[in-house]
Amino acid sequence: MGSKKKTMLYSADQTPPKGPLFFSSLQHMLLVVSLGMALPISVGRTVGLDLTLSTSLLSAALFSMGITGILQTLPNKYVGSGFQSMSASDSAALAACVMAAQIGGIPLVLGMTIFSGVLKGILGSFTFKLRKLFPPEVTGTMIFILGISILPTGLKYFLGTSLPEFNPTHLFVAVITLVVMLACTLFIKPLKPYTALVGILFGFIISAITGIFDISSFGQLADQPIIEFPIYKDLSYSFNPQLLIPFSVVTIAAIVDNIGDYSSSQSADNPKFEKPDWKSIEGGIRGSALGSFIAGFIGGPIQSTATTNIGIASASGITSRKVAYLASGMLIVAAFFPMISGALSLIPTPVLGAVLMFSICYIMAGGFSALATRSLDDKRIFVIFLSISFAVSTLIPGLYSFLPQKVQSVLCSPMVMGVGILLITTLLGKIGTKRQAQFTTGTDTDDVKEVNVQIAKVCEEWCTEKDLVQKLQISLDAIME
């Protein structure tokens, strides 16, 4: 029985009717807001911003996501992928941004965001040539380590360990909020696209009922102006070479993630998709890079593609660029109203912890998904799990106390230590690796089985992607038959 093909309603070049256009755009806008605010809120909490500065920081975040979404979608030769592509604050950059906030406050976060945008623009223009340097086992491990790096912040907010003393109510609110998000994901399918948003709203309610959140805090929003240009109010920039490695790792991981997302966008728009358009991918990455560059200058966070939105577009059959333009425009308009940003900045700490833990699970799952495409030999097992072990080791207090303090400040983070070990062992592992193979066989139909065995053997030695092995076997079988 043949599988039923998904129906494409409105492709990238088409314009949906007003009703589907509006509601599809609203859905994408709400989803980006629910998933993209954890990074700027966490950074604001780290440095202890007051309501006025927090509001302006979040307004800049909304504006940045809107501008970047448009840049990523443009069908331009140099900037933009030409496919529907929403933007969100890069949650995988949380650990690096929190580190920057702890060292140099918001100015350092913005300075390193600008650096990330520049680096992404440069490397993103050569992704086709550089793709062999980052095979799936390397990128998958890198993304998994990024998830590990966010764990301390997520668990601190979730468990309430930053409080003067343990508060069972705090933990109760965090657990209930996380359970509600899991319920939406697993059992209430219509709410799955809005899981984080539902969790935040429910978390506000349960926090108010339990006394964790004082609902009168919303009264502070009355002091905010009705309309204001979305730029961070205390703009300044700084740079620290100590953070070059963490932000470079985050940027490379974002590029890898973008490649997958833009390929998915192309596939969602074209039922006959066979291989990715690398010019479109590089244009999209440049759009994302320009968005991060602009974000750093106005006070916004690092930008990246909103992966979940691509799935929603594929499921709905509406991949029109007009949807991304309208949804991004909604974000830009919302950014001009400080009361909206101010309400988001008041999110209770246990609720933020639950949202972060929810996001961490999916970041790590993305790493595992990439690893699952490869067959792992002894060499790759050593490379992958040695790097993960060293990444985790940096979270053990005092383990590297024998190192000078300056060395500890540079090396002792999951991203720097783990990814550093990963890249070094990967390069060493390439020494002596054979990339040629020969075998002799007949060309009769009876020899098909032997050919498949030989192909499987060679590909297993090379740890080739499983899908590629199957395609190669099918193609050669067809030729022989």
Give per-residue pLDDT as tens, 383-400: 889 989 998 998 888 888
* Reported pTM: 0.72
Instruction: Give the pLDDT of residue 164.
Output: 75
What dihedral angle (degrees, nearest 10) is formed by the CA atoms of 338, 341, 346, 347?
Answer: 170
Q: Which residues of 461-480 are buried (b: 16+ CB within 10 A; e: fewer)?
A: ebbbeeeebeebbeebeeee
Cα–Cα dist 95/253, whole Å: 13
Who contacts 314 (Cβ-Cβ below 8 Å, separation ≥6)? Answer: 6, 264, 267, 268
Cα–Cα dist 265/313, whole Å: 8
Q: pLDDT band for position 466 (50/70/90)?
A: low
Instruction: Give the pLDDT of residue 4.
Output: 44
Cα–Cα dist 296/252, whole Å: 18
* pLDDT greater than 80 at residue 204: yes
Give per-residue pLDDT as tens, 26-47: 878 877 886 777 788 889 888 8
Give per-residue pLDDT as tens, 281-300: 899 999 999 999 999 999 99
Instruction: Give the pLDDT of residue 358.
Output: 82
Mean pLDDT over the full length of the chain = 80
Cα–Cα dist 65/69, whole Å: 6
Give per-residue pLDDT as tens, 222-235: 777 788 888 998 88
